[in-house]
Amino acid sequence: MSPRLSHENRVFALVFLASLPALAVALLLLWLGEFSLKLQWTLTLIVALWWLGFAFAARERVVRPLQTLSNLVAALAEGDFSIRARGAKSDEPLGLAFWEVNQLTDVLHEQRMGAVEATALLRSVMSEIDVAVLAFDAEHRLRLVNQAAARLLGGAPGDLVGRDASVLGLEDALSGDTPRVVEMPLTRGGGRWELRRGTFRQEGRPHELVVLADLSRTLREEERQAWKRLVRVLSHEINNSLAPIRSMSQSLGDMLARDDAVHDPDLARGLAIIGGRAEALIRFMQSYARLARLPAPARRPLDIEPWVQRVVRLETRLDVDVIGGPPAAVHADADQLDQVLINLLSNAVDAALETGGGVRVGWRSRNGGVDVWVEDDGPGIADATNLFVPFFTTKPKGTGIGLVLSRQIAEGHGGTLTLESRSQGHGCVARLHLPA
């Protein structure tokens, strides 16, 4: 046999040659015997056809299973695990081969489904976690970024991939010891971040994995819980003391008014002062108790433009200019957001009245959400470190509750609230970011 013959032709040749001696002897006896010529040719034709038929059948019986196995392997290579081989038996060699291929198909199918589910879970976790995850290649180009990191960097994931770490302001994150706490001006308000870094390989090439966890929000939440506990204790103790003082001052005042024999203006004025201050302190503590009793937002669809226009009309001390923005909507608690925008507008108008300037309100789409901004021409921010500290206020009659409550409402909606002095001109700009 020539080595150039294909496998099926070699099988056919082997079957052909294996039966050739018996065929030759049979034909020799047939033609040397005393038979008629017609019988000799008829039997010769029948034997030849029988011989060729079985040779081709033997060839087919060998080749067809190999083709089936080849198709099964090709399907596995293409990721198609729906095809199974028939005739899989463990008590014969060919059936055992089919059985093993079917078992391999089941194993690969389970592994593929597990990989798909694990990938889907990983993508869901990466999208939902409030931790920035970024991956850089050996040239310090960004190759992977989740939604939290995209919000942190102020862009869409598709626009950020491929940028250099130095352009993104993350060059320092790729060097130094980890874990460590760093301060990076990645957002308008800046913040403190816990930096962790690791390495992995993708397609055989090394990558750096950078994880940034926002410590500022965690610290604010711990601080908020501490203030809530303090407010609850103070409210209980102070109210228990002020309630009888207010009641006694009112009773003494009523007795003094009814008794004509006792008429002391200083005494009446003193009792009125005591009652008024007790009433004011009770209202003061009630306003702080709102921090500890803020309910979860009842979310409903809210169109930004009608909401802003409605709240702006509540401010009567100054004509506020509505700059506007693109059509936008969020799912939010309208009552709670009313309080936030009312507080921001009130602060902006107070600042603008000091300098005779104006106030402007607008919004824009950013990072799959909406930024609502309030800008004033006031004197600007004198002390930015204490803006969101409870009890701190620069207003003569302020309580120090407005901005703290506003940021708590914003973060309860999954958003942020920042205040900063304007980069151009005098004044301040407040930005409320709400996810869509």
With respect to residue 119, please indicate whether it lies within any of the assigned structural domains. Answer: no
Range(s) of the domain holding residue 403: 300-435
What is the distance between the alpha carbons of residues 333 and 320, in angstroms, rounded to a whole number?
23
With respect to residue 114, please indicate whether it lies within any of the assigned structural domains. Answer: no
Measured in degrees and rounded to the nearest 5, phi and psi for residue 261 equal -75, -30
- My answer on whether 307 and 390 are in the same domain is yes
What is the distance between the alpha carbons of residues 165 and 238, in angstroms, rounded to a whole number?
54
With respect to residue 116, please indicate whether it lies within any of the assigned structural domains. Answer: no
- My answer on whether 330 and 422 are in the same domain is yes
With respect to residue 309, please indicate whether it lies within any of the assigned structural domains. Answer: yes
Q: Are 351 and 421 in contact (CB under 8 A)?
A: no
With respect to residue 254, please indicate whether it lies within any of the assigned structural domains. Answer: yes
Which parts of the chain have pLDDT scores under 50? Answer: 1-2, 187-189
- My answer on whether 378 and 283 are in the same domain is no
Instruction: Give me 142's structure tokens.
Output: 């960004």
- My answer on whether 311 and 278 are in the same domain is no
The per-residue pLDDT for 376 is: 92
CATH code, domain carrying 320: 3.30.565.10
Q: Are 190 and 183 in contact (CB under 8 A)?
A: yes
The per-residue pLDDT for 238 is: 67
- Residue with tokens 């803020």, as numbered in its chain: 294
pLDDT tens digits, 380-398: 887 666 666 655 566 655 5
420 bridge partner residues: 429
Count of residues in the chain? 436
What is the distance between the alpha carbons of residues 321 and 396, in angstroms, rounded to a whole number?
27
User: Which amino acid makes up residue 21?
Assistant: P
Q: Are 433 and 369 in contact (CB under 8 A)?
A: yes
The per-residue pLDDT for 1 is: 42
pLDDT tens digits, 151-193: 778 777 778 888 888 888 888 888 888 788 777 665 444 567 7
The per-residue pLDDT for 298 is: 86
Non-local CB neighbours of 125 within 8 Å, separated by 6+ positions: none
Q: Which of 216, 240, 265 is the last residue of a domain?
A: 216
What is the distance between the alpha carbons of residues 123 and 3, in angstroms, rounded to a whole number?
54
Q: Which of 151, 184, 216 is the last residue of a domain?
A: 216
Angle, alpha carbons 299-305-311 (nearest 5°) = 80
CATH code, domain carrying 198: 3.30.450.20
The per-residue pLDDT for 358 is: 92
Number of domains in the chain: 4
With respect to residue 265, please indicate whether it lies within any of the assigned structural domains. Answer: yes
What is the distance between the alpha carbons of residues 422 and 355, in angstroms, rounded to a whole number?
15
Instruction: Give me 364's structure tokens.
Output: 């824009």
With respect to residue 109, please indicate whether it lies within any of the assigned structural domains. Answer: no
Prediction pTM value: 0.48
